[in-house]
């Protein structure tokens, strides 16, 4: 294929496509550009590996700091482990792309996206999502696309398509909508407590723009002389499926209809039925085609049994409007909560239970120096002062496997919970703490990410963080059979695993703070999405009511083990004075007081210590060092040194001046030691500050009222 270029005029901005220019040996590639942001996306297909019974799709998004004209830090000066945002972008590309590949496809597929250049006006993530669809079409991989994505922002009362970083930051909405010709396929959003109707309108607005990009891709395929590949699925011998279905259907129906069974009991009952089928197959003649099929593919029995269970569970929901645990479609599982579970050395804890899902969230309050440094992030954000981490150990689902570093799922769920709570956190100038919440999933049966949101809200309030409103969340599911659609509230594990949608909605009683919708089908109508959003509101408010019965507002007192922060403002020109040569001065203050000191470029000084007395002592030293002195000011000081011509007095923490021997008394003094000794408390007045900043003091001409005021000020320091 030769080089081909196409420009799409899209919402007042051009998107430029270049096919055939780069990566000629990839299955398909496209250079997609807008403004100065350039993303190279490739899609490659290789032959299937033996024994694979799933779609082996890998999606990787990578950033290089040269894209922003920067050199990486560290010894190697090379990009290392990808920042969290890069991992989240990989997931963002994967989630709308994966459902559009045929379910029978077993070939290895890999999509790789590189951001080669980036400006601050055009975020690269939605370009990468659309580029993945184009690269797949060019690679002639079987695909139920095209697919495209746009970002929707809200500035004032107006929705805008693909806003800049600054517009997203200043607005009340950051929504990404991905869609196919069949409907909306993915939604990802953070919002500032927006009403449900505004979110629905924004999704509709975004999907209209998506359809323009889909049509542009169809035009591109035609101009390249290509077709959208729709390969026929391979023929499948149904004899094994029929054998299992005949023997298992009635038993599976009975188990699914026993609504009082818990998850483990139901799974054990289904496993027993499967084992009975396995025994029946093993008793068949060795040459029987059914036994041969089960022997040649050891996973065939389990996969077929799962498919039959899925069909029967879905049919029960669609036909009877009853779920496997007996709940109605819009019913939430039993909810219970607890706060303060751990000793107060943990600054705040919240335990959230919903059905068999259990999440323990722990909140830690830190100092400004504990903020997460994002220096090697291409976006070059400021330091992060709210951090949420999510852990999913194997015992939470009754399994055993080695513990590893957090994977994409853990990072994604942590980011979703983080986004859900950001709109209700107090601003930095009111609450300067850095906050970290860790959610430990102790038991999982669906919707652990929303359990993390609820547990985190409880832990923050238990820690005394003055959040503006509590946040709760619920996960919605979907069963779609033909034209029949059923939306499920608070899905459990089997409904997530065997259903068509996982739609997580978090928010306060005033509105939505975060959304995340993933599909297993090729698209969904706006009407169904609206139904899910409204149904989720009832669930969120029900859960929130249960949470508020345990703790209805943030605690007025923090843990005694949480740091106490004092914030003062100094002249930025004096920052160097406080730090001192090589940090000597600030280290000295820390050693003397035991307090930690963080200084920002604008002169904001945050002093922290577990003991408030220590923090106040450090504050007084810094204030004393940086206070503007005026001639005539009167202070109480202490003699620190004596020399033949006078005495040095520390009259403010870190601030020292000299009383000349002639200023010690209103008569002639023979020796300094005749009037003062080291350690004496004296009342002094600032007589002069010379051109070198040296402070000359005097004991003369001080009115008794001035002396009394100075003593009172010293007591109150």
Residue 75: the pLDDT is 82
CATH code given to domain 4-223: 3.30.230.70
Fold for 335-548, please state it: Ribosomal Protein S5; domain 2 (3.30.230)
Question: Confidence band (pLDDT; 50, 70, 90) for 379?
Answer: low
Query: How far are the Cα atoms of 140, 301, 303, 458 from residue 297, in angstroms, in the given order?
Result: 29, 8, 10, 48
pLDDT tens per residue across span 516-549: 999 999 999 999 999 999 999 999 999 999 999 9
Average confidence (pLDDT) over 39-46: 97
Q: What is the pLDDT of residue 204?
A: 97
The candidate with the shortest Cα–Cα distance to 385, out of 362, 363, 406, 366, is 366
> Is 60 exceeded by the pLDDT of residue 380?
no
- How confident is the model over 289-326, as pLDDT tens digits? 898 888 888 888 998 999 999 999 999 999 999 998 99
Q: What share of the chain in percent tops pLDDT 90? A: 71
In the numeric block, the tokens 């709109």 are attached to 423
- The confidence score (pLDDT) of residue 417 equals 97
pLDDT value of residue 25: 96
Cβ atoms of residues 454 and 542 within 8 Å: no
* Confidence at residue 383, expressed as pLDDT on a 0 to 100 scale: 79
Determine the pLDDT at residue 382.
67
Q: What pLDDT score was predicted for residue 716?
A: 66
The span from the CA of 15 to the CA of 38, in Å, is: 10
What pLDDT sits at residue 429?
87
pLDDT at position 628: 81
Q: What is the mean pLDDT of residues 272-276?
A: 94
Is 381's pLDDT higher than 60?
no
Q: In what order do the strands lie in the sheet containing 472-481?
A: 158-161, 148-155, 173-180, 183-194, 512-519, 501-507, 472-481, 484-489
CA dist 464 and 555 (Å) reads 4
pLDDT at residue 479, rounded to an integer: 95
Tell me phi and psi for residue 134, to 5 degrees. Answer: -65, -45
Element (H, E) at 180: strand 173-180
Where do the structural domains in the chain lie, given as residue ranges? 4-223, 239-320, 335-548, 564-626, 634-716
In terms of phi and psi (left: phi > 0; alpha: psi -120 to 50; beta: otherwise), the region of 618 is: alpha
pLDDT tops 90 at residue 10: no
What was the pLDDT predicted at 375?
Answer: 62
Integer Rg of the chain from CA: 33
Place of tokens 């730090």: 579
Residues 6+ apart with CB under 8 A from 306: none
Exposed / middle / buried, residue 631 (Cβ in 10 Å: 0-12, 13-18, 19+): exposed
Mean pLDDT throughout 178-200? Answer: 97
Question: Is the confidence at residue 369, as pLDDT, over 90?
Answer: no
Question: Which DSSP symbol is given to 66?
Answer: G
d(C-alpha 287, C-alpha 247), whole Å: 20
> How confident is the model over 418-463, as pLDDT tens digits?
999 999 999 998 999 999 999 999 999 989 999 999 999 999 999 9
- Say what the pLDDT of residue 627 is: 80
Model confidence pLDDT, tens digit, residues 74-111 = 788 888 888 899 999 999 999 999 999 998 899 999 99
Query: Sign of dihedral through CA atoms 203, 209, 212, 213?
Result: negative
Model confidence at 592, pLDDT cuts 50, 70, 90, reads confident
In whole angstroms, how far apart are CA 318 and each of 481, 485, 531?
8, 7, 16
pLDDT in tens, 697-708: 999 999 989 988
pLDDT value for 95: 97
Mean pLDDT of 263-282: 92
SS3 content of the chain, % helix, strand, coil (to 5): 35, 30, 35
Q: What letter does residue 470 receive in the DSSP assignment?
A: -
CA dist 403 and 207 (Å) reads 40
Give the fold, CATH level 3, of 564-626: Ribosomal Protein S8; Chain: A, domain 1 (3.30.1370)
Measure the CA–CA gap between 524 and 488, rounded to whole angstroms: 15
CA 526 – CA 204 distance, rounded (Å): 7
Rounded CA gap, 314 and 340, in Å? 41
Q: Strand, coil or helix: what is 55?
A: coil
pLDDT confidence band for 394 (50 / 70 / 90): very high
Structure letter (DSSP) for residue 253? H
**Residue 76: per-residue pLDDT:** 84
pTM, two decimals, is 0.88
Q: Round to whole Å and give the CA distance between 707 and 634.
A: 7
Closest Cα partner for 486 from 313, 250, 256, 257?
313
**For 634-716, CATH number?**
2.40.50.140
**Pairing outcome for strands 183-194 and 335-339:** unpaired
User: 3-class SS at 567?
Assistant: strand
pLDDT of the residue at 249: 94
Question: How many Cα atoms occupy the beta-carbon half-sphere of 168 within 13 Å?
Answer: 16
Question: What integer best gives the mean pLDDT of the chain?
Answer: 92
Average pLDDT over residues 551-559: 96
d(CA 714, CA 717): 5
Q: How far apart are the first and last CA of the chain?
A: 78
pLDDT band at 690, cuts 50/70/90? confident
Cα distance between residue 121 and residue 117, in whole Å: 12
Tell me, yes or no, if the two domains 564-626 and 634-716 fold the same way: no
Burial state string for 351-389 with b = 16 or more CB within 10 A and e = fewer than 16: bbbbbbbbbbbbbbbbbbebbeebebbbeeeeeebbbbb
Q: Give the closest residue to 171 by CA, choosing from 187, 160, 182.
A: 160
* Residue 120 CB neighbours (<10 A): 14
State the pLDDT confidence band at 717, using cuts at 50, 70 and 90: low
Percentage of residues in the chain with pLDDT exceeding 70?
98
Give the number of other Cβ atoms within 10 Å of residue 582's Cβ: 8
């Amino acid at each position: 294929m030769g080089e081909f270029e196409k420009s799409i005029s899209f919402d007042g901005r051009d998107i430029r496509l270049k096919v055939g220019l780069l990566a000629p040996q990839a299955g398909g590639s496209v250079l997609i550009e807008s403004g100065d942001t350039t993303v190279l996306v490739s899609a490659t297909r290789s032959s299937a590996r033996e024994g694979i019974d799933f779609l082996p799709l890998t999606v990787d998004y990578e950033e290089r700091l040269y894209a922003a004209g920067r050199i990486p830090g560290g010894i190697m000066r090379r990009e290392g482990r990808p920042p969290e945002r890069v991992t989240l972008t990989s997931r963002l590309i994967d989630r709308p792309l994966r459902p559009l590949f045929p379910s029978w496809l077993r070939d290895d597929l890999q999509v790789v996206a590189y951001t080669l250049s980036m400006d601050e006006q055009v975020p690269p993530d939605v370009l990468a999502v659309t580029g993945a669809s184009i690269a797949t079409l060019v690679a002639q991989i079987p695909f139920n696309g095209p697919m495209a994505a746009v970002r929707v922002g809200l500035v004032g009362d107006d929705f805008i398509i693909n806003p800049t970083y600054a517009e997203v930051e200043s607005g009340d909405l950051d929504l990404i909508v991905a869609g196919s010709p069949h409907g909306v396929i993915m939604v990802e959003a953070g919002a500032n407590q927006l009403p449900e109707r505004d979110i629905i309108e924004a999704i509709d607005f975004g999907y209209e723009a998506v359809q323009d990009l889909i049509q542009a891709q169809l035009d591109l395929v035609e101009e390249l002389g290509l077709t959208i590949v729709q390969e026929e699925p391979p023929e499948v011998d149904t004899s094994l499926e029929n054998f299992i279905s005949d023997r298992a259907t009635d038993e599976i129906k009975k188990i699914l209809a026993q609504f009082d069974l818990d998850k483990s009991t139901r799974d054990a009952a289904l496993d027993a039925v499967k084992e009975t089928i396995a025994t029946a197959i093993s008793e068949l003649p060795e040459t029987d085609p059914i036994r041969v099929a089960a022997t040649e593919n050891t996973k065939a029995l389990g996969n077929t049994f799962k498919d039959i269970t899925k069909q029967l569970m879905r049919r029960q929901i669609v036909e009877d409007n009853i779920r496997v645990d007996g709940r109605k479609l819009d019913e939430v599982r039993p909810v219970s909560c607890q706060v303060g579970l751990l000793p107060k050395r943990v600054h705040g804890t919240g335990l959230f239970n919903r059905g068999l899902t259990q999440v323990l969230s722990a909140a830690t309050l830190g100092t400004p120096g504990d903020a997460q440094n994002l220096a090697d992030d291409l976006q070059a954000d400021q330091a992060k002062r709210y951090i949420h981490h999510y852990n999913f150990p194997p015992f939470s689902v009754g399994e055993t496997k080695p513990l590893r570093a957090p994977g994409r799922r853990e990072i994604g769920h942590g980011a979703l919970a983080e986004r859900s709570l950001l709109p209700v956190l107090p601003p930095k100038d009111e609450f300067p703490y850095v906050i970290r919440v860790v959610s430990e999933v102790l038991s999982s049966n669906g919707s652990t990410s929303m359990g993390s949101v609820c547990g985190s809200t409880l832990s923050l309030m238990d820690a005394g963080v003055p959040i503006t409103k509590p946040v709760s969340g619920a996960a919605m599911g979907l069963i779609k059979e033909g034209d029949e659609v059923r939306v499920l509230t608070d899905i459990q594990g089997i409904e997530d695993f065997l259903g068509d949608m996982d739609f997580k909605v978090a928010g306060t009683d005033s509105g939505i703070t975060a959304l995340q919708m993933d599909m297993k089908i090729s698209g969904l109508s706006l009407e169904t999405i609206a139904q899910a959003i409204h149904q989720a509101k009832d669930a969120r408010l029900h859960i929130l009511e249960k949470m508020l019965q345990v703790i209805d507002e943030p605690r007025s007192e923090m843990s005694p083990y949480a740091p106490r922060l004092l914030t003062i403002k100094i002249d930025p020109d004096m920052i160097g004075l406080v730090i001192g040569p090589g940090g000597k001065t600030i280290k000295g203050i820390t050693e003397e007081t035991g307090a930690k000191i963080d200084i920002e470029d604008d002169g904001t000084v945050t002093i922290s210590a577990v003991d408030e007395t220590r923090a106040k002592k450090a504050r007084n030293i810094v204030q004393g060092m940086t206070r503007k002195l005026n001639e005539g000011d009167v202070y109480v000081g202490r003699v620190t040194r004596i020399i033949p011509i006078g005495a040095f007095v520390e009259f403010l923490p870190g601030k020292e001046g000299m009383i000349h021997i002639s200023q010690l008394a209103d008569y002639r003094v023979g020796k300094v030691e005749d009037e003062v000794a080291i350690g004496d408390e004296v009342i002094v007045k600032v007589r002069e500050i010379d051109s070198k900043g040296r402070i000359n003091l005097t004991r003369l001409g001080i009115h008794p009222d001035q002396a009394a005021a100075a003593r009172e000020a010293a007591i109150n320091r």
